[in-house]
Amino acid sequence: MGRGHRAKRPNMKRPHTEFAFLQIPFGELNNDLHFQFMQQAITDVKEKGDTTLLCKYVTGLIFNQMSAKACLKKHGERAWKALLKELCQLKDLDVFKAVHASTLTEKQKKEVLREICVLKEKRDGELKGRTCAEGRSQHGQYTKEQTASPTMSNDSAMLIMIVAAIEGQDVAMADVAGDFLKADMDVFVLMKLKGATVDIMCELDPSLEDFVSTEKGKRVLYVQLIKALYGCV
């Protein structure tokens, strides 16, 4: 074989490409395709010990979320209402207050946290929004001991449930809505809102229009975090 030439690889068919549920983005699968996907994944594990499809399904299920822009493009009014509901919670809990961009220094603008707003479509079709801050710029400002947040291990949870079952104990579950948002932020942290988030916040509170500025042709809104928004260190 001459120099610079490569041997042709055999035209091998990639595994699983014949399945219809792999030809469609995970977020667009209907109930029938979800069922086929799961059934085939289980069959592969039982008959071949192959976990490829199972890993694909679990990954798709966990990370099945879209950016606000993508979700608005796909779902329109439904996505807008879901974002409105999520941001309304932030407003009602006084999570942040607006600041004028002209009062900020260039250093503050560079260190500002970026707002991330995503939506997830549940199996029943409901859209669930979640707004958080990208706290990467805060890394290095605190030690690991200062930011550690230990949680119960799976083993501990299982042991508690086993003891409760053996002893016939009554078990109750409770959920504190927006629990993270009830913690006060004790340091000065800025976040920048942009895109649809700015428009929705101004719809909820028209007075915020006075704080909206324009950067690179896009509307932006700088806010100071009063509560510990998800993603902050």
Per-residue pLDDT of 101-131, as tens digits, reads 999 999 999 889 988 888 877 767 788 888 8
Where b means 16+ CB within 10 Å and e means fewer, 58-80 reads eebeeeeebebeebbeebeebbb
Domain extents for the chain?
A: 20-62, 66-139+181-225
| Cβ 115 vs Cβ 133: under 8 Å | yes
Quick one: tokens of 31?
């109930």
pTM: 0.63
Q: What is the pLDDT of residue 13?
A: 44
Condensed to tens digits (0 to 9), the pLDDT of residues 55-110 reads: 888 877 766 677 777 778 878 888 888 888 888 888 888 899 999 999 999 999 98
Distance, in Å, from the CA atom of 49 to the CA atom of 54, rounded to the nearest integer, reads 11
- Rounded to the nearest angstrom, the gap between the alpha carbon of residue 106 and the centroid of all alpha carbons in its chain is 29
Q: If you average pLDDT over every residue of the chain, what do you get?
A: 82
| Cβ 37 vs Cβ 21: under 8 Å | yes
Q: What is the pLDDT of residue 115?
A: 87
Where do we find the tokens 């209907």?
Answer: 30
Distance, in Å, from the CA atom of 113 to the CA atom of 189, rounded to the nearest integer, reads 8
| Cβ 93 vs Cβ 226: under 8 Å | no
| Cβ 205 vs Cβ 198: under 8 Å | no
For residue 9, what pLDDT band results from cuts at 50, 70 and 90?
A: low
Beta pairing class for 113-121 and 66-67: antiparallel
Condensed to tens digits (0 to 9), the pLDDT of residues 168-178 reads: 999 888 887 77
Q: What is the pLDDT of residue 12?
A: 42
Structure-model confidence comparison of residues 167 and 149, the more confident one:
167
